[in-house]
Amino acid sequence: MSTRLCPGMYRAGERRAGESLTAACLVKSSAAVRLLLHTGGVKHGRKMCRIMAPHKPTLSSLGGNRRVRRNLFGPVDRDQLQVEYQAALRKDLDEASKRWGFDFKSYKPLESSDFKWEGIPETRVPLLYRSCVPAEGLGPAGGAVPTKPARVEKENIPQTPGKRKLQDLKKTPAKGEKAALKRKQTNITDFYQAKRRVVWKPRKSGE
Amino acid sequence: MELLCLEMDTSIRARPDPNLLRDDRVLQRLLTIEERFLPQYSYFKGVQKDIQPFMRRMVATWMLEVCEEQKCEEEVFPLAMNYLDRFLAMEPIKKCNLQLLGAVCMFLASKLKETRPLTAEKLCIYTDNSIRPQELLEWELVVLGKLKWNLAAVTPNDFIEHIVRRLPLADDKLVLIRKHVQTFIALCATDFRFAMYPPSMIATGSVGAAICGLQLDSADRSQWGDSLTDLLAKITNTEVDVLKECQEQIERVLESSLREGRQQQQQQQTQRGPSGKGLEELDQASTPTDVRDVNL
């Protein structure tokens, strides 16, 4: 990664009229105290005010400051951490199962449940809620589901082992292509193309 | 021909909306819901066995430094500390995982508040690679679950505009006051004694401390009518005595932080020797860091 110099990162030596009395707007933004040094703190009555530029330094600048980049409490026990993570996840899942009467591991409703669960074909839910794996056997509508591979790689989607596809819990069969298309979230392109498109024709990719 | 690129990646932000700031309902609503986001227990007396108050301070100081170096939005750090405290009030954690938790909390707060959030990789580098991005992402899920996905917590920063706009302050002073208030709020977030205080009280106390510290109250006293504290207390429905105590506590914390900073400065100066201090060095020396805390 290349270093980008950001000349405006700090402007030093600026002094404002309003702050002459007690406080000099400190100096270097650091630690718990980038504060309000009472005038005695800095020699020669020299006050510096570093203005933060609205700018984030690039990653490469991280290497420079060894003081911020540090390990606070010694090495992390990775295996133990993994064990604790799995345990925490299991606990969360158990609590959620109890609350919603749904077994999230097998993706099936629990027998004793306060809720009545009903399956919905994937094409009828917004993109966000669809499983990342393209659903097979969903009929012609299933093929039309745009699955962006980028979503799979998205960093904040954790990799849960043994993720089930949503259609496993499908109870009500899809009512065919037309119905599925109708329920799809509308795009602006839907309206632009509406005049030219024949209704029963399947949409082109990039809809 | 020389080409000069003046392009800066500034983030574009909305102007403060007078409809929101002048309407009392917004402030009242904030005051009503703020209690929901407080940590439930003073966790060092029960839940936590392995970690101690000074460790919270260490991780908080580190988090603040990361936020500052990365030029995060002001509210990212207090919000991250809110997540950290709420998590710690529920779940015992080992000392060696505290920094991971801190990183996760910053990760979440930054995603909620910033247009360009901190990346997992960056945060891991800041832990000196003691944690891996994958671990950060895994624990993000755990923390989210514990917080019940209630991330939009009320922070002291939410009150700043509401308070200062209800005070008779000159416009030219506002920028400086805001800056000082934000600094006080960050300072409070590093100190566990403030963890259970409602955000509105910390904000009100910080505004009071900032105005007193800048000695704006004496110059403009004629405008205040009642004393500054009374006026502040009225704005956020805080009791005057409690507010006074809070403000004094903030001032004490500031004082001790500055004292520490000066000690640090002296230490560094003696290490460096007395000769030739340029401005840059002087500036470096006046930077208080908690090196003492790091060398456990």
Tokens, residue A123: 């094409």
Q: Do A59 and A93 have their domain in common?
A: no
Q: Do A92 and A168 have their domain in common?
A: yes
With CB atoms and an 8 Å threshold, state whether B286 touches A85.
no
Instruction: Note whether residue A41 is domain-resident.
Output: yes
Q: Please give the tally of structural domains in chain A.
A: 2
Which one of A37, A47, A73, A84 would you mutate to disrupt binding with B, by most B Cβ within 10 Å of its Cβ? A73
Q: Residue A55 is part of which domain span?
A: 17-64
Instruction: Note whether residue A119 is domain-resident.
Output: yes
ipTM: 0.76
Instruction: Note whether residue A26 is domain-resident.
Output: yes
What chain A residue is nearest to B260 in terms of C-alpha separation? A33
Q: Do A39 and A112 have their domain in common?
A: no
Question: Which chain B residues are closer than 8 Å to A7 by Cβ?
Answer: none
Q: Do A93 and A161 have their domain in common?
A: yes
Instruction: Note whether residue A134 is domain-resident.
Output: yes
Phi, psi for B57 (deg, rounded to 5): -65, -40
With CB atoms and an 8 Å threshold, state whether A158 touches B121.
no
Whether B40-146 shares its CATH topology with B157-287 is answered yes
The C-alpha atoms of residue A6 and residue B8 are separated, in whole angstroms, by 9
Contact B231, B225 (CB under 8 A): yes
With CB atoms and an 8 Å threshold, state whether A73 touches B95.
yes
Instruction: Note whether residue A122 is domain-resident.
Output: yes
Find how far residue A194's CA is from the centre of its chain: 34
Q: What is the pLDDT along chain B (296 residues), one digit of tens a residue?
A: 677 777 666 777 888 899 999 899 999 999 999 999 999 889 998 899 999 999 999 999 999 999 999 999 999 999 999 999 999 999 999 999 999 999 999 999 999 999 999 999 999 999 999 999 999 999 999 999 999 999 999 999 999 999 999 998 888 889 999 999 999 999 999 999 999 999 999 999 999 999 988 887 665 555 665 688 999 999 999 999 999 999 999 999 999 888 988 887 788 777 765 544 443 333 333 334 333 332 22
CA nearest A145: which of A153, A156, A155, A133? A133
Residues making up chain B, counted from first to last: 296
* Beta-ladder partners of A24: A37
E strand residue ranges, A25-135? 37-38, 102-103, 108-109
The C-alpha atoms of residue B40 and residue B260 are separated, in whole angstroms, by 31
Q: In this structure, which topology does domain B40-146 adopt according to CATH? A: Cyclin A; domain 1 (1.10.472)
Q: Is B99 helix (H, G, I), strand (E, B) or coil?
A: helix
Phi, psi for A10 (deg, rounded to 5): -130, 140
The C-alpha atoms of residue B102 and residue B79 are separated, in whole angstroms, by 11
CATH 1.10.472.10 applies to domain B157-287? yes
Cα-based distances in Å from A62 to B65, B67, B215: 12, 12, 38
Question: Which chain A residues are closer than 8 Å to B58 by Cβ?
Answer: 72-73
Question: Which chain A residues are closer than 8 Å to B214 by Cβ?
Answer: 18-19, 21-23
Question: Which chain A residues are closer than 8 Å to B146 by Cβ?
Answer: 92
With CB atoms and an 8 Å threshold, state whether A69 touches B126.
yes
What chain A residue is nearest to B11 in terms of C-alpha separation? A54
Identify the band that residue A82 occupies on the pLDDT scale cut at 50, 70 and 90: very high
What chain B residue is nearest to A82 in terms of C-alpha separation? B135
